[in-house]
Amino acid sequence: MYLTNGIVIGIIYAISALGVTLIVGIMKVVNFAHGELYVFAGYFSYYMSVSLGLSPLVAMPLSVFLVFLIGLLMEKALIRPTYGDDMYSLIVTFILSIVLQNLALLIFGPYPNKPPNLIFGATNLFGLFYYGNQRLLSFFISLAILLFIFYLIKMTWFGKSIRAVSQDREMASRIGIDHYRINMLSFGLGAALAAAAGVILSPIFPVTPSGSAAISLTAFVVVVLGGMGSLKGCLVGGLILGIIENLGAAYISTMYRGIFGFILLILVLVFRPWGLYGQKT
């Protein structure tokens, strides 16, 4: 039971962290506003499906697309001028996260909301225990998105351009890749991944504006754990964190569930600062 929940939560962490690692890997920018984008997507999907009466199957991709556009806009207006100045991009995205969080509070109010479930009830797993169907469904959707992103980055033209830009910006532009465009698209993609995590998870863990910081932090732990910019690291890091948190909560203390990740983070920094799959520089 604890292990299963750990794996499910782990995959969910991985998809949430994917957006961060993508942006770090390509642009060397940490997006502190990641959790807020997740929250916005959750609320969008809630309002579209509840207030506008759209089917969740329409509302979910539409919300993701909306956040993708927000991501593009953010990159163009705020992130682009900070390239080459790590310090300012950190400060700008941190302030941005506070602004978005308060904006969410203003627009959506302080109450958690959850879009309708796609599926109800629970399934008896392995004849051992009951597990919510919505959770199982989210697990499979997340897994599909993970595979899709792996494919996108490793196999397609877009993925190759991204990797070219992240390795050598000048070289890339010499062979005709517009790195501004690629950066903008990859920031948008990162934002869209945050949004995807948001719409998939909000029926299980309702979103609140104040919950965004925790979402960002978990994603950062996974990213550092796996190695910055590494996709494989992201998956493995997510799984490790999910399992450790659940086993820790079960056998050590439920109150310190949130802290296991950070202890892991510090251990990684001491012994293997470049993460599990990161590049040692």
Nearest to 245 by CA among 231, 229, 262, 232: 262
Question: Rule CB under 8 A: is residue 130 a binding residue for another protein?
Answer: yes
Q: CB 176 → another protein: shortest distance, Å?
A: 30
Question: Rule CB under 8 A: is residue 192 a binding residue for another protein?
Answer: no
Q: Could you give the string, one character per residue 199-228, with x where binding to another protein holds by CB under 8 A and - elsewhere? A: ------xx-x-xx-xx--x--xx-xx---x
Closest to another protein by CB, 210 vs 279, is 210
The pair of structure tokens assigned to 176 is 């005709």
Region of 37-45, 98-106, 145-153, 189-197 interacting with another protein (CB under 8 A): 98-106
Give the three-state DSSP class for 150: helix
Closest to another protein by CB, 118 vs 152, is 118
The pair of structure tokens assigned to 165 is 């830009």
Contact call for residues 200 and 251 (beta carbons, < 8 A)? no
Among 69, 95, 119, 144, binds another protein (CB under 8 A): 95
Question: Rule CB under 8 A: is residue 61 a binding residue for another protein?
Answer: no
Question: Rule CB under 8 A: is residue 86 a binding residue for another protein?
Answer: yes
Specify whether the backbone of 28 is left (phi greater than 0), alpha (psi in -120 to 50) or beta.
Answer: left
Vertex 72: Cα angle to 69 and 77 (nearest 5) = 125
The backbone torsions φ and ψ at residue 124, rounded to the nearest 5 degrees and listed phi first, read -85, 115
Question: Rule CB under 8 A: is residue 113 a binding residue for another protein?
Answer: yes
Question: Rule CB under 8 A: is residue 120 a binding residue for another protein?
Answer: yes
Vertex 32: Cα angle to 100 and 5 (nearest 5) = 100
Q: Could you give the string, one character per residue 234-273, with x where binding to another protein holds by CB under 8 A and - elsewhere? A: ------------x--xx---xxxxxx--xx-xx--xx--x
Q: What is the DSSP string of 193-249?
A: HHHHHHHHHTTTS-B-GGGHHHHHHHHHHHHHHH-TT-HHHHHHHHHHHHHHHHHHH
Q: CB 232 → another protein: shortest distance, Å?
A: 20
Write the CB contacts of 49 (distance below 8 Å, at least 6 apart in sequence).
55, 56, 59, 115, 116
Judged by the rule CB under 8 A, the positions of this chain that interact with another protein are 1-2, 5, 9, 24, 28, 30, 77-78, 81, 86-88, 90-92, 94-96, 98-99, 102-103, 105-106, 109-114, 117, 120, 122, 129-132, 205-206, 208, 210-211, 213-214, 217, 220-221, 223-224, 228, 246, 249-250, 254-259, 262-263, 265-266, 269-270, 273
